[in-house]
Each structure stands twice: as C-alpha cells, then as structure tokens.
Chain A
Amino acid sequence: MHSINILDYTLRSSQGNTLETLQSIKNIDINISYKEVSTLNDAVEIPYYLFSDKVEDDANEIKEAIKKLVETITIKLTPQQRAKTALIIGTSLIDKNIIDSIESSVYEYKKKPYASSKKSIDSFANEISKELELNPFTMTISTACTSSINAVLEARNLINSGVVEYAIVVGVEIFSQMMSDGFSSMKLLSTDIQRPFDVARDGLVLGEAIAAVLVGKDSSKWSLRGGYSNCNSLNITSVSSSGEEYAEVMDKAMSFAKVTAQDITMLKAHATSTLTNDMSEINAIKKVFASDVTFSALKPYVGHTLGACGVLELAMIMSCIDDGFIPQTLNHKDSIIKEYTPLQEHKACSCGIFMLNYFGFGGNNTSVIIQKESK
C-alpha cells in the first residue's frame, strides 16, 4: 500500500530539457543568469537559474508551458489510460490572477471594467486535464518547498485507494518578483553561488523549473517504495539545529518503505545552502546514517526551484541513475561536519535504493524512498 511505480519522467530546468539537463550535470557545464531583487536599502543583481526561453509570470503562459511538458508524457498513453489519469500540481507560485484582481479593483487609476473569469493557479490543472482528455480529478498542492513531492505522495494515495489508476504529478515554479523579494527580505539569497553543507555557505540561489512524473501500478524499473510527510518544526521557518525533526521524517520514511539506513545507496539532500537549514539537515543525516553514507545535493546545478524541486530533483536523480552515475555536489570545499562530506566526484551507479529529502517553510518535512531494480 505504501509503494507505487514511477512509469515516466520529464523535466525542463534552466539547463534545458531532460537530456540537456543530464548533459550539463554530467559535464558540469552550468548556465546561470542574473535578476534584480530589492533589499532594504537598494536593488541588487543576484544569480538566478532562469529558463533560456522566457516564461512570463502570466496565467496563460504558465499554463501553456506546463501543458507542453505534460503532453510529452500523455502522448505515450492510450485514450483509455488518459481517462484514468489524474493531474496533480505542486507549486508555491503566488497567484498572479489575484494580484491582477486586486489592482483592477482597489486602485482608482488602475481600475478596469468588471470582468471575472476563474483563471487562478488551481485552474491550470483543470484546464490542462480537459484539453488532454485526462481524468477530471485534479488538485493543486501548496506546501512551500515540499509542494510537488507531497503531490507525489497524494498521487500514491489516490492510486492505492482505487480513486484513479494513474497520476501525472507536476512541479512548477516560474520567476516571481514578489517571491524573490520575499526571500531577499529574509536574507536567504546568496549573491554568489550555493555551497551545500560548506562552512562558507551563505544562502540559496533561486531557479525556474517545470517537471513531471507519471505514476501508476504498471510494471516499471523505478518504484516509490514509501515516504512520509509531517508538520513539525521549531518555528515557521526552521527546525531545531539538532535536526531531530528531519531525522524523524527520514526514519519514518524508511520504516514505511521497509528499509534500513544500511540499505540506502544514496541520499539526495534538500541542502538549500542556508546557514540554518544545512546545519539541521547535516545533523539529521548524522543521526540517521553512518559516516560512510553517500549523499549529494542537486541545487547547485539548477537552483532552488521551491515548489517544483520535489518532482524536479526526483526526475534528475532518476535521469542520472538511468545514465549510470550519482552526481557530485558542486561548490563544496570545507564540510560543516568533517566526517560527513557530500559526494565530491560523480560516482558510478545504475540501480539501488535512494532517499530524497525535502524540507519547507511552515514545518513541512518530507522524505521519500525510491528504488531502481538492477534489471
């Protein structure tokens, strides 16, 4: 009941499509752009992992970008399979439709004639589902950085309880000035590079992404063996520096997946490169794993894609393992805990059991276990 198969994946990151992103990771050839954000005193340019083909923060453009990616999966499904496929989106996007409605209603000089059409973020899944003739059950989940991985767990529940037979789960995050300024206000953005688990880490770099996975019960080399999500933190933005809340969610995910720490081939850390999050996570890793654990961080390749990172980093790991390697952690020199150093060179690996961590604001912690069979 806790497991399900992952039948397909696809992604669009700042580095390109699935294959292009894989090549950029493999060759460590990373493209990064810059964006202006506000600070208390000034506006500054910060690094930002942006799509090479711009997607505007506009309902129609975002919907079409999601649909284009989802189509690459649905094209392989029969009409009968499509009719049994739910569409679930995970995102932390701020709803531009609401902002437009506020501006059209509240400010006299921006006043527009009354017009009302439901075109919010939660409409995307419904409209795409109709246009691609999927099952009418759609849902949009917003739990900050765990949004799309929590959407994967929702899909697992819906399939295992017989509500639908398949689900396409999409993670999406597009550049938003409000979101970027918000992270800037919290002083969480690096003006340089992300340094996961490094003593010199100074913050995260945001990124854009749209990624999707198809899950169901059909046979597949990849499976989601289990996962666990909870809400447990010290306060709204962080857990204890001891990482006990993260360790709990990792332990429970393994328990539901019926594996032990010794069974884990590799851990994909959440690793935002912020002072507090990385400290808590490395302490949690130390509580759960022996020091020979293989772990790595993906955000230096594509940025922190917030609500999209759940499905994006899941797809990236599967893509790398399908290509025969575990990606190294970039920009790491000096570990927070010497005995626990993330992977420093790509490591050959084509199968195994993998733990993926995701932690978000609002105390939302999620850990999932995936497996690729050796044949």
Chain B
Amino acid sequence: MKLYVKAVSSYRGHLDGSEIKKELKTKYKLDTRRQDTFIHLAIYGAQLLKDKVEISSSDELYITSGVGNIDVLQKTNKYVYEEKEFIKPFDFINMLGNTTSYYVANSLGLKDKNTFQISNNFTFINTLISVFASLNLSQNEAIIGSVDLCTNPNEVIKRVLGLDEDAEVTSSVNYQKLSLSSSGAIAEVEFDTKIYSLQEVQELIKNSDLKVMTSPRCKGLDSLKDSEYFETMPSYYLNKTIQEKEKMLYIDCFEDSYKIIKIIALA
C-alpha cells in the first residue's frame, strides 16, 4: 500500500500549554474556550498544516493518539473524585475522542468524514491503512493528525503506555495531507498489514540501503533511536524524513511484533 504526501506539519516539545493557546488566539484568531491543552495541541498542528497547503472541505480527517485526551481525564478525576465536585458539561464532552477531531475539523473548515481512532501500539501505521482503504473508495484526500500530550507528572503516561520508569517522554503533534495521487507530492510512504518478527526485521535492515530508525521500544535492534518517546512517533519521523529530504525505513514495535513504514522524500 502506498500513499503520497502533499504537505506536513510538526510540533514537538515539552509543552507550555498557555503559549499554544495564545498562538491560537492571536495568530490564528480562533476561539479557544471550552477546550483544553490536548485539543489546543491538535488544533495548533492543524493550523501549521493549513499554513502550508490548501485544505478542501471534502478532505477526510483522521485524528489518532496513543492515549487520547489525558489532560481532561486528569483534571476531571481531581475535581470529581478528590474534591467531590460535579462534573462540568464541557469537560465531559472533551473526554469523548471525536470532540478533538470536531474542533480540528471546524478550524480547518472540513465537513466530510471525521474519525478518531486508536490502534494498540501501531496506531499511526494502522491509521495509514485505514486512510488507504477509505481513499480507494471515496477518491478524496485525507488529513492525519497524530497527537500525544504528556501531562505532569509524566509517570501517568508512562504507566499507560507500558514504558520503563526511566523512559523519557514528550508531547508531539504531527500532521500529513495524503492522497492516492502522486501529483504535487513531496514524499511517498509505503506500509502493509504484515507483522514482522525480530529476525525478519534484522534481515531487512541488513539488506536495506536506506537510513533506518527504530522506535525506542525496539530493544532487540541496534539501530538509531530517539531518546524520547511518544506513541505516534512514526508520524514525526515521516515528517522529519521529508524535511531532511531523505529515504528511511522506520521500524515500530511492541513486545515481539514489528511494523515498518518506508518513507521516500520526492521533492
């Protein structure tokens, strides 16, 4: 399966939520009320993409995340269960996965398919598969937003994601506009449903002349790894490969299962 990338946007860092909110209000003139940091991060990434490419109202929107809106759950848990207050209606609504995709769609002027999906440990790669299957039918273009927010204390997210206690984690948002058509593409990304074994991956690396990056989770592989972790990391490396005009195999893994995407920058 192959998709062509028309544009990308990335933001990664130890987040100052108020700065993002300020940027949305002042630069993009967006209403940020009734939202929270996770939603602001998702919208911010979407606006960075909109700065670079024309968005059509028929573009399909897919928002994916390793954990989802952890911010609102942490906040609500505190005031409902610890302080015995009544749940606020907009915090309740923000807990629903597709609330984030609704606000993103609104900020981009999208009116068509809009989904929030997660997929055990390979959430970005499986979302690519989902996009490929849908575009084959609709002939539209699609936007994937991959959003991971790291809250304080970061122990929460590390517990949820199955990471070692000393793992480094960070927040990140990465978007791509994708198409089945190569016209105007800046990169192509190849992927499949296959789950690879460690031995198969080692063989692939040995025989590949592409740069190889692996997820920090891939302990059995002696390849380049990021020092920090977030669940939708393949989305970040797709964008980084394009920005650096490279060709790369990105290997994601969980326990003894491996998945691979091949990224080739065209421009």
Say yes or no: is B136 at the interface (Cβ < 8 Å to chain A): yes
For the complex, give the distance between the alpha carbons of A39 and B115 in Å: 31
B126: chain A residues within 8 A (beta carbon): 137-139
Closest Cβ of chain B to A138, distance in Å, is: 6
Closest Cβ of chain B to A271, distance in Å, is: 20
Say yes or no: is B15 at the interface (Cβ < 8 Å to chain A): no
Known: A161-B133, A231-B112. A141 touches B159 (CB 8 A): no
Among B76, B82, B101, point to the contact of A107 (Cβ < 8 A).
B82
Q: Which residues in chain B, 179-223, are within 8 Å of chain A measured between CB atoms? A: 193, 195
Closest Cβ of chain B to A118, distance in Å, is: 4
Residue-wise interface mask of B (42-71) relative to A, using a CB-CB cutoff of 8 A (1 in contact, 0 not): 000000000000000000010000011010
Among B1, B61, B193, point to the contact of A164 (Cβ < 8 A).
B193
Q: Which residues in chain B, 213-267, are within 8 Å of chain A measured between CB atoms? A: 254, 257
A8: chain B residues within 8 A (beta carbon): none
Known: A139-B119, A142-B98, A182-B95. A95 touches B68 (CB 8 A): yes
Selected interface stretch from A203-211, A309-317, A358-366: A358-366
Closest Cβ of chain B to A150, distance in Å, is: 6
Interface size in chain A (residues, C-beta < 8 A): 66
Closest Cβ of chain B to A168, distance in Å, is: 15
Contact A361 B98 (CB under 8 A): yes
A117: chain B residues within 8 A (beta carbon): 162
Closest Cβ of chain A to B185, distance in Å, is: 20
For the complex, give the distance between the alpha carbons of A184 and B180 in Å: 44
For the complex, give the distance between the alpha carbons of A186 and B76 in Å: 15
Among B1, B98, B112, point to the contact of A362 (Cβ < 8 A).
B98
For the complex, give the distance between the alpha carbons of A362 and B164 in Å: 35
For the complex, give the distance between the alpha carbons of A148 and B97 in Å: 13
Q: Binding site of A, secondary structure by majority: helix, strand, loop or mixed?
A: mixed
Contact A362 B117 (CB under 8 A): no
Contact B158 A141 (CB under 8 A): no
Contact B74 A102 (CB under 8 A): yes
Say yes or no: is B30 at the interface (Cβ < 8 Å to chain A): no
Say yes or no: is A57 at the interface (Cβ < 8 Å to chain B): no
A103: chain B residues within 8 A (beta carbon): 77, 81
A156: chain B residues within 8 A (beta carbon): 137
Residue-wise interface mask of A (101-120) relative to B, using a CB-CB cutoff of 8 A (1 in contact, 0 not): 11111110000001111101
Contact A99 B101 (CB under 8 A): no
For the complex, give the distance between the alpha carbons of A121 and B96 in Å: 13
Contact B120 A126 (CB under 8 A): yes
Known: A118-B120, A138-B119, A160-B136. A230 touches B159 (CB 8 A): no
B78: chain A residues within 8 A (beta carbon): 106
Say yes or no: is B32 at the interface (Cβ < 8 Å to chain A): no
Contact B115 A150 (CB under 8 A): yes
Known: A122-B119, A142-B97. A231 touches B102 (CB 8 A): yes
For the complex, give the distance between the alpha carbons of A117 and B121 in Å: 12
**B86 and chain A: residue at smallest CB distance:** A40
For the complex, give the distance between the alpha carbons of A33 and B187 in Å: 56
Known: A118-B121, A181-B80, A362-B96. A158 touches B114 (CB 8 A): no
For the complex, give the distance between the alpha carbons of A48 and B156 in Å: 32
Contact A102 B95 (CB under 8 A): no
Known interface pairs A144-B98, A361-B99; 6 further A-B residue pairs with C-beta atoms within 8 A, sorted by A's residue number? A99-B77, A116-B165, A138-B119, A157-B134, A158-B129, A361-B96
Q: Which 4 A-B pairs have the closest CB atoms?
A: A182-B92, A142-B97, A231-B114, A126-B120
User: Residues of B at under 8 Å CB distance from A?
Assistant: 1, 34, 61, 67-68, 70, 73-74, 76-78, 80-82, 86-89, 92-93, 95-99, 101-103, 105, 110-121, 123, 126, 129-130, 132-134, 136-137, 153, 155-165, 193, 195, 254, 257
List 23 A–B pairs whose Cβ atoms lie within 8 Å, in order of A's numbering.
A2-B137, A95-B68, A98-B70, A102-B156, A103-B77, A103-B81, A105-B155, A114-B159, A122-B123, A125-B120, A138-B120, A139-B119, A140-B118, A154-B115, A157-B130, A158-B130, A161-B137, A163-B1, A163-B193, A178-B92, A231-B61, A231-B105, A236-B93
